Structure 1
Amino acid sequence: MTTPTKAAPAARPRPKRTPKPQGQWLVDGREPLNEDERLKAADPGIAVKRRVLDIYSREGFASIPAEDLAPRFKWIGLYTQRRQDLGGEHTGTMTNAELQDRYFMLRIRLDGGQATVAGIRAIGEISRDFARGTADFTDRQNVQLHWIRIEDMPEIWRRLEAVGLDTHFGCGDVPRVILGSPVAGVAADEIVDGTPAIERIRAEYLDPDAPGAGEFANLPRKFKSAVSGSPRLDVTHEVQDVAFVGVEHPEHGPGFDLWVGGGLSTNPMLARRLGAWVPLEEVPEVWAGVCRIFRDYGYRRLRNRARLKFLVAEWGAERFRRVLEEDYLGRPLVDGPAPRPQSGDRDHVGVHSQRDGRNYVGVKPAVGRVGGADLVRLADIADAHGVTRIRTTVMKELILLDVADAEVGPLLADLDELGLTARPSAFRRGVISCTGLEFCKLALVTTRTRAIELVADLERRLGDLDSPITIALNGCPNSCARTQIADIGLKGQIVTDAAGNRVEGFQVHLGGGLGEDAGFGRKLRGHKVTSAELGDYVERLVRAYRAGRGPGETFRDWVARAPEEELR
C-alpha cells in the first residue's frame, strides 16, 4: 500500500512592487529626488546673473560657489570650459570640477537665427576683445564664444544688450533658443512666416522681463523648439521636443503641423506627429501647453530619462494630444495634413530670389567657425553692400538678406576673399561637428579642427561630388552634431590602433537621414576608425559609393543595400 504524497502548498502571489516615483510633479509631488532637482528648487538659476554682476565679476573665479558654477550658470548661458592640459582619456575618470578651467564658454541666443549687422559686429568685437578671437556658430542657430573671464561679463552683457541680444536661458533645464527658418519672411516659396510666433513666445515667456519669465525656469531637462513655415523643412523638426512645420490646410489655409518628442543623444527618437493643424496666432499658446506638460509630467528622478521624448514614447501621440487639448488648452485642435516630403537640400547655400525681387546669399563657414576679426569684417562687407539683416542656420551657415541684383557679384567676391563662399564643395557644405575636446568637458576626441582638416583633405583627394553627402563628427555619445542622422556619422571614442596604442578614433554610423523614411544610421558592429585613418576611410567609402551606385541613387540608399565589406 502506497502512502499518498502530500500536495505542495499553492505558491503565494508575490506582492506587486510599488513603482518608484519618477519625479513627475502632478503624479509624485514636488519633493526633489536628486541633487540637481534640489538645487533648482532652491534657486532655478534666474537670480544668478545679479550675483555675477555684484559679486563674482568683482571678486573673481575663486569666489563662485560650485552650485552656481554648475548648474546655475547654465541659465545665463555660461559653462566652464575644459582645461587645455587634459586629454580625452581623462573624460569620465575625472569630475566636472577637476576637468574645468577658470574660463567659460558663453552662448548667445539668436532665436530664429535672426541678427542685425550691428549685432554681428558687436559679437565680433566681443570675441576680439574678450574671447581670444573665438566665435563658433552652432547647429542650434546660436553663437558660442570661448576663453571668457567672469570679470568681463558685465561689459559683455552691456554690449549685447545695446544691440538687442542676450544670453538668458542659453543653457540649462529651460526652453533653449527657438529654431526658425533662416529665410522667414523673405523666401519666395514660404508657406507661412513663423517669425511673429517666435517673437511672441520670447516676449511672453522667455525674456527676463516677460510676464511668464519664471514659469519655465525649472523644467526636467532642456527643451528644444522649432517654428518654420519653409517647404524646405529647414529646422530638423524630426529631432526637436516640439516643432511647428508649415503646411497648407485644405479648408483653413496656411498654418503649422505639430510634432513632439524628438531628440538624439544616447537614446535617439524621432518626433511624433500629433495630426493637429495650428494657425499662426495660436502657436505660442500651443507651445506653452506642450512645455507645461513637460514641466508637470516629465521624469525628473533620472537625468538620462528626463527629456520629453521618453514621456511621449510612453504615452503615445494620441494620449499626448488628448492631454494637451483637455487639460492644457481646454479645446480640441483642428486635424490637419502632414508636410510634403522634401527630397532636395534643406540648407540655403547660394544665391536665391526673395519674394520682393531682391536676393539672399547663403555662405558656409568651415564648420561654423568665424573669428572675431572676420565677423567685424563681415559686418563691414554687409554695410558696404546695403545689407542690414543676417541669419544663421541649423547647418551653421550665414545668410545675408535683401541683396540687390547689382550687388550680388561684388558681394560674392568680397565674401570669397573672407573665406565665406556661396559655392562650397559638397564636402564643405555637408560637414558639421561639435565643439569637441578643444573646449568640452564631455568630449573624448578632437572634432572641430579635425573636421576642417578632413574637408580640405577630401577636396584634395576627391575634388567635388555630384551628390551631397553629410558628415558629422561628434566628440562623445551625446550627438550634438547629429551623428545618427548623417550620411556618415562619426562618434568619438578612445580606440586601439594596430600597434595596440589607445588613441583618438570614431565609431561609424552610416546612412542616417531625415525627411521621408527618416531613420538612424547603420552602425557597423565592431568597426572603429582611428583619427589618423579618417581621411583614408572616408575616401575609400566615397569611391565605393561612386563605383557602386545606381542612376540617381543617394549615398543613404546605397548604404542600405551595400555589402558590409564595402562599408568598412
Structure 2
Amino acid sequence: MVNTAPTPPETQVATQPGGKTGTAPARRTPTASKRPARPNGQWKVDGKAPLNHNEEFKQESDPLLVRERIEQVYAKKGFDSIPGDDLHGRFRWWGLYTQRKPGIDGGKTATLEPHELEDEYFMLRVRIDGGALSTEQLRTIAGISTDFGRGSADITDRQNLQLHWIEVEAMPEIWRRLEAVGLSTTEACGDVPRVILGSPVAGVAKDELIDPTPVIEQIQERFIGDPALANLPRKFKSAITGHPSLDVVHQINDISFVAVDHPELGIGYDVWVGGALSTAPRLAERLDVFVTEEEAPEVWHGVVRIFRDYGYRRLRNKARLKFLLADWGVEKFRQVLEDEYLGYKLPDGIEPPSPASLGLDERGDHVGIHEQHDGRFYIGAAPTVGRVSGETLAKLADLAEAHGSRRVRLTPQQKLLVLDVVKDEVEPLVAGLAELGLQARPSIFRRNTIACTGIEYCKLAIVETKATSAAAITQLEERLGDLKNLKPLSLHVNGCPNSCARIQTADIGLKGQLVMDDDGNQVPGFQVHLGGGLTSLDRDDAGLGRTVRGLKVTADGIGDYVERVVRRFDADHDGEETFAQWAHRADEEALR
C-alpha cells in the first residue's frame, strides 16, 4: 500500500545545487491547531458512553422493561403518572406513541414542544411480521379497535395495523387479547428491529421461488424482544421475499433478502443493505453474497449487530445504517460481516431479475384475482389509502370465513389479500369485498395511491393526508376516465418531509408543507417529486424521483395538478415509455 502522508517538515528532502539531495532545514510556518475528530458514538470504536439524552435513557433502563411499569403503575394511575423518558421514549418499544392533539395546525408542528402537541391518547401499532393474519387474529384486532380505539384502524405500508385513541389504562387488556391469539406489539416501534416485511403471497403463489415464512419465523422467535438487540442506534427495517415480483420494496430497507435461482448454488437469497428514505434518501446496495435459507437468520443477526456496534449514535439524523454503509462501502461491510460476525466467507451472489423482464406486474401489490399453486385463489383488494375500521375488519373476517378462507395478508402497499378461496366462491367474495369498500378491481388511482397518517394523528405532520388523498382519488376517477390506455402510475402522499409514504419512489410523490395560494395566503400543500420507482425502471438514477424547482400544489389542488401532468404525459410519451421515464426526460415546463 502506498503511503501518501506528507513527509514531516523537519525531514523533508530538498534538492541542493548540483542535483545533490540532502536534508533541508524545516521552514517554520504557522499552523492551526487541529481539533480532535468528534466521536460518532460507535460502540466498538468510541465506547458506550452516551453522547445524547436519547442514548442516556436507553442505557439507564432497558426500554423493554417499561411494559411492567405500564401494567403495574401507569394503567392504574393514568396518563399524568407517566414520566417523560417513558412517555416519549421507552413506550415506543411496545408500539405506543402519543397522538396529536386535535385542532393544532401544521404551522405549529415545528414550533411547539412534544408535550404541547400531544394528546392523552396513543397510537398503537400491532406488529404483524410478514403481514400474515388468521381471521381469528383479524377479529381480535377489530374488537380492540371497536372497544378501545373509537373504531380506528389503518393498514400501514409496513404491513402493520395501526389503531388510535388508545388510553394507557386499556393496555393490559389489549395485550392480553393480542397475545391470546399469537399477536404482539413487541418492538413495533423504537430503536429496534421493526416488523419484518414479507411477501404477501408467501407459500401460495404459483411462481414463488421459495417460501420466506420459515426465515421470518426464525428471526421473530429468536431475536425480537432480545435485550441484546433492544438498543440500536435507531430503527432497523427488514424485508424478505421469495416472489419474483420483488414485492417488499427491498431497496429501501436496512436489510433485505430477495430470492434468486443461482446457476451453481440453487435457490437462495441475494442480500441488500443500507436502504432508507426520509430526508436523506439512499437506496440499498447488494452485498453480492448468496445466502441459503438456513444461513439467512444468522446473516440477518450479523448485520443487525454491525449496526448496533458500529452505527452512529451521536446525531439522531445520522444514526441509520445507510450512513455507515455510505462511509464504509459494500466491500468493507461484507468483510466485517464475514470476519467479525459470521466467521466464514459467503459465496458471491447474483442479482435478481427485474419483474418487467419476467413479464410480471411491476407494482407487486397482488391486487386482483390470482390462482394459487394448489388450484385455489387469492384475491387482493384495495382499501382507500389504507384506511379501514374495526367494523370493516370484523366484517372482513366474517366474509372470508363465509367463503371458505381463514387467512388474510396485508401488503407493503396498504392493500390486503384473502387466501385459499375456491373457484366458485371468488366472484361472491369480490362482490362482498366491494360492499366493504375493498376493491379487487380498483381504478388506477384507487389502486396506486398510498398516504401516511398525516396531521389527523401524527405530531410530525404539517398537512392532512388521508381525506385529502381520498378526495383526489374520486376527482381523478371522474376526470381521467376517458384515458382508456393509461399506464399504471403511483401517487404517494406524505404529511411531512420524513417520507413514511415513500414519496421519492412514486411516479408522483407529494411532500407536505405550507405553501402560498394564488391569493398569497399560507395554506396546506405539497412539494412535488416526480418519476420515482423501484422495480420498474432501468435507469442510472436508481429510481429516486426528481423535484422541479418551485413546483408546489395546494392540498385542494392535487386533483387539478395530477390531471394536468397525466394528460401531458399521455400526449407526450414515446411508445412504451413509463411515466417515470418520461418525467426524468421532460423539461420542467411540461411538469408544471
TM-score range, shorter chain: over 0.9
Residue 172 of structure 2 is aligned to residue 148 of structure 1: no
**Which residues of structure 1 form unaligned runs of 5+?**
1-7
The offset of 1:419, in angstroms, is 1.3
How far, CA to CA, are the matches of 2:230 and 2:319 in structure 1? 15
How far, CA to CA, are the matches of 1:435 and 1:96 in structure 2? 17
SS of structure 2 residue aligned to 1:22: coil
Alignment partner of 1:222 out of 202, 225, 235:
235
SS of structure 2 residue aligned to 1:366: coil
1:66-145 → structure 2 map (5 Å cutoff): 66-145=84-163
- TM-score, structure 1 length as denominator? 0.97
Q: Once structures 1 and 2 are overlaid, which stretch shifts more, 530-539 or 21-30?
A: 530-539
Aligned to 2:296: 283
Amino acid at match of 1:234: D
Aligned to 2:531: 511
How far, CA to CA, are the matches of 1:149 and 1:336 in structure 2? 49
How far, CA to CA, are the matches of 1:240 and 1:455 in structure 2? 28
The offset of 1:496, in angstroms, is 1.4
Aligned to 1:255: 268
Aligned to 2:503: 483
Aligned to 2:396: 378
Aligned to 1:541: 565
Aligned to 1:305: 318
The offset of 1:255, in angstroms, is 0.4
1:443-490 Cα shifts (integer Å, max 9, x gaps): 000011111111011101112663111001111110000000100000
The offset of 1:17, in angstroms, is 2.5
Residue 466 of structure 2 is aligned to residue 438 of structure 1: no
How far, CA to CA, are the matches of 1:279 and 1:318 in structure 2? 20
Amino acid at match of 1:413: A
Aligned to 2:250: 237
Aligned to 2:202: 184
Contact 2:277-2:504 within 8 A present in 1 as well: yes
Aligned to 1:453: 471
The offset of 1:237, in angstroms, is 0.4
How far, CA to CA, are the matches of 1:428 and 1:11 in structure 2? 69
Residue 549 of structure 2 is aligned to residue 529 of structure 1: no
1:197-245 Cα shifts (integer Å, max 9, x gaps): 0100011111x4xxxx111100000000011111000000001000000
The offset of 1:417, in angstroms, is 1.3
Aligned to 1:39: 57
1:478-509 Cα shifts (integer Å, max 9, x gaps): 00000001000000001111212111010000
How far, CA to CA, are the matches of 1:235 and 1:564 in structure 2? 32
How far, CA to CA, are the matches of 1:560 and 1:219 in structure 2? 37
SS of structure 2 residue aligned to 1:335: coil
Residue 584 of structure 2 is aligned to residue 560 of structure 1: yes
How far, CA to CA, are the matches of 1:185 and 1:354 in structure 2? 9
SS of structure 2 residue aligned to 1:334: coil
How far, CA to CA, are the matches of 1:44 and 1:508 in structure 2? 41
Aligned to 2:10: none
Larger Rg: 2
How far, CA to CA, are the matches of 2:279 and 2:363 in structure 1? 27
Aligned to 2:491: 471
The offset of 1:44, in angstroms, is 3.0
- TM-score, structure 2 length as denominator? 0.93
SS of structure 1 residue aligned to 2:468: helix
1:347-404 Cα shifts (integer Å, max 9, x gaps): 1000111111111110010011111111111111011011011000000111011111
Aligned to 1:315: 328
How far, CA to CA, are the matches of 2:148 and 2:244 in structure 1? 40
Aligned to 1:62: 80
Alignment partner of 1:328 out of 341, 345, 355:
341
How far, CA to CA, are the matches of 1:288 and 1:379 in structure 2? 35
Aligned to 1:201: 219
SS of structure 2 residue aligned to 1:500: coil
The offset of 1:9, in angstroms, is 6.9
How far, CA to CA, are the matches of 1:77 and 1:550 in structure 2? 47
How far, CA to CA, are the matches of 2:277 and 2:153 in structure 1? 25
Alignment partner of 1:496 out of 516, 520, 523:
516
1:398-439 Cα shifts (integer Å, max 9, x gaps): 101111111111111111111111100010111001000000
Residue 437 of structure 2 is aligned to residue 419 of structure 1: yes
Residue 422 of structure 2 is aligned to residue 398 of structure 1: no
How far, CA to CA, are the matches of 1:526 and 1:32 in structure 2? 41
Contact 2:279-2:497 within 8 A present in 1 as well: yes
How far, CA to CA, are the matches of 2:62 and 2:320 in structure 1? 18
How far, CA to CA, are the matches of 1:37 and 1:384 in structure 2? 50
Runs ≥4 in structure 1, deviation > 3 angstroms?
12-16
Aligned to 2:190: 172
SS of structure 1 residue aligned to 2:557: helix
Amino acid at match of 2:554: T
SS of structure 2 residue aligned to 1:49: helix
The offset of 1:341, in angstroms, is 1.0
Amino acid at match of 1:527: L
Aligned to 1:4: none
The offset of 1:15, in angstroms, is 3.8
**How large is the Cα RMSD of the aligned pairs?**
1.2
Amino acid at match of 1:205: F
The offset of 1:158, in angstroms, is 1.0
How far, CA to CA, are the matches of 1:409 and 1:474 in structure 2? 34
